Amino acid sequence: MHTIAAHRSLAILVAAASMAFGPACPAAGPWLAETGGADMGLAGAGRAAMSLDAAALASNPAAIGGLSGSTITAAAMPSKLDFEFHGTGQTTAHATNEEGINTVPALYAVYRNDRLTYGIGAYSYLGVSFDAGNQWEGRRVIEKAGLATFNIAPAIAWSATDRLTVGASVAAQLARPEARMAVANDAMFYGPPAGLPDGQVKLSGESWAVGGQLGLTYEPMDDMRVGLAWTAPVDHSVALDIDAKGLHPVLATVLESVQPATLDFTLPQQVLLGVTRQAGNGTMLSLGLSWQDWSKFGDARLTLPGQSTPMFESGLQDTWGASIGARRAFGDGWVGSAGVGYESSPATSGGVPPYFPVAEQWTFAAGIEHPIADSVRLRAEVSIIFQGDADVVQTAAPLPLPGIPSLNGTYEDARVYLFALAADFRL
């Protein structure tokens, strides 16, 4: 009776969280995929092999088979993105990110039943969001851009042997892109009224699609674990709503002719390899490697009546990453962790558009955790991401609005400050 009640409680709790968190779907900084798990304090090192909390479900569904019992993990992750854009050549534009702190919630529940382990997670998959404001010189190219995602993912893991576990998950994924830009009202051929200030156009929409993961963990030795996970690509086709305000009457009529608008893109598939090793004295060492298929995302297109335009003029390239970390248990139940990670840039030699300020990244992370009861453990983690310069080359705009200038420059000194507060409940 106790296990049945616990199982029902887990399902009800996560279902409620899915409904509460789903509509908000806030984005993180530039392409963050943090899950709120203990691996964040290790800069993601070895996350495909770790079974430290229920958030392991988001990295490798097989990893939940390594948990000692039924577990709930709840997390909140505030983040802040800082950058400076400096124009080059004839572009004099300068901008900073005016968007405030975004907070991403996550909730996971895992139920262990002998060799089978069931889980469900409600979490953000990845995201990018920034707001350059409506006063900078590039406002007719972009003022604000973002892509938020949210997964509701049930998972199952089977311990085939004492050393090998396989797992799978299926995700219902919500994607919400948005963009806002100023629009020129001063074209002479519009006629009266003349001298109008810029108007504004906002594009937004959402799409549900199916994703999933396959994974395994293997223990070649008692003190070593290897994890391998594959995340499937997810195809989205988003019908965009175009909302305008303050437009010249002629321009408002022209804008009606470019509807409906559809944004088609594929969120990249991913392969994760993780290795953990218990080194003695309560120390665990971890290593992670990753690959992501960003070249497929670089094929994203905006489709309007009679035309289809690429969102990335020069495309994108696949990325790879590596990370190392260490986790150490101290006295009185305290555990500390630290790690460093690197991700290569998805940008090609042709640069990126201004609505995709992403380059190579170095991540430095640390975390600490402590039990406050026999079944409750609290965690606090911090991750600081330093990004290389992102060269912007924008010669054409996907949306054919008048007065859009070419925009060249560099996103410089970009940093992401990410925090996590989490609690693990063992039932």
Whether 54 shows a pLDDT value over 60: the answer reads: yes
Whether 15 shows a pLDDT value over 50: the answer reads: no
Alpha-carbon separation of residue 422 from 34, 124, 284 (angstroms): 12, 15, 21
pLDDT at residue 31 in the model = 52
H or E stretch at 188: none
Max CA-CA distance within the chain? 80
Residues 6+ apart with CB under 8 A from 164: 216, 217, 218, 219
Q: Which of 31-35, 45-49, 243-247, 377-381 is predicted least confidently?
A: 31-35
pLDDT at residue 281 in the model = 85
Three-class secondary structure of residue 195 per DSSP: coil
H or E stretch at 15: helix 2-21
pLDDT at residue 339 in the model = 97
Rounded distance, CA 321 to CA 103, Å?
Answer: 25
Binned at pLDDT 50, 70 and 90, residue 24 comes out as very low
Q: What is the pLDDT of residues 265-315, one digit of tens each?
A: 999 999 999 999 999 888 999 999 999 999 999 999 999 888 899 999 999
Q: What is the pLDDT of residues 60-76, one digit of tens each?
A: 999 999 998 899 999 99
Rounded distance, CA 332 to CA 42, Å?
Answer: 21
Quote the mean pLDDT of the chain: 88
Whether 14 shows a pLDDT value over 70: the answer reads: no
Whether 91 shows a pLDDT value over 90: the answer reads: no
Using alpha carbons, select from 427, 421, 424, 425 the residue that is nearest to residue 105: 421
359 or 166: which carries more pLDDT confidence?
A: 166
* Mean pLDDT of the region 308-323: 93
Rounded distance, CA 426 to CA 68, Å?
Answer: 9
Binned at pLDDT 50, 70 and 90, residue 206 comes out as very high
pLDDT at residue 38 in the model = 94
Total domains, the chain: 1
Domain carrying residue 244:
2-426
Highest-confidence segment of 146-150, 192-196, 213-217 = 213-217
Rounded distance, CA 338 to CA 224, Å?
Answer: 19
Residues 6+ apart with CB under 8 A from 388: 345, 359, 360, 361
Binned at pLDDT 50, 70 and 90, residue 395 comes out as confident
Q: Which of 37-41, 184-188, 255-259, 356-360 is predicted least confidently?
A: 255-259
Please state whether 69 falls in left (phi above 0), alpha (psi between -120 and 50) or beta: beta
Percent of residues, the chain, with pLDDT higher than 70: 92
* Mean pLDDT of the region 226-231: 97
CA 81 from chain center: how many Å? 13
pLDDT at residue 215 in the model = 98
pLDDT at residue 74 in the model = 96
Three-class secondary structure of residue 95 per DSSP: strand
Binned at pLDDT 50, 70 and 90, residue 6 comes out as very low
Whether 30 shows a pLDDT value over 50: the answer reads: no
Using alpha carbons, select from 361, 367, 399 the residue that is nearest to residue 381: 367
pLDDT at residue 257 in the model = 72
pLDDT at residue 253 in the model = 81
H or E stretch at 294: helix 294-297
Q: State pTM to two decimals.
A: 0.90
Whether 26 shows a pLDDT value over 70: the answer reads: no
- CATH number of the domain enclosing 323: 2.40.160.60
pLDDT at residue 361 in the model = 92
Alpha-carbon separation of residue 109 from 12, 56, 356 (angstroms): 10, 10, 34
* Mean pLDDT of the region 181-210: 86
Whether 194 shows a pLDDT value over 60: the answer reads: yes
Q: Locate the DSSP E strands across 160-246.
A: 164-183, 199-204, 207-221, 224-231, 234-245
Whether 17 shows a pLDDT value over 60: the answer reads: no
- Phi and psi at 43, nearest 5°, equal 60, 30
Rounded distance, CA 202 to CA 209, Å?
Answer: 23
76 or 27: which carries more pLDDT confidence?
A: 76
Binned at pLDDT 50, 70 and 90, residue 143 comes out as very high
Rounded distance, CA 65 to CA 49, Å?
Answer: 11
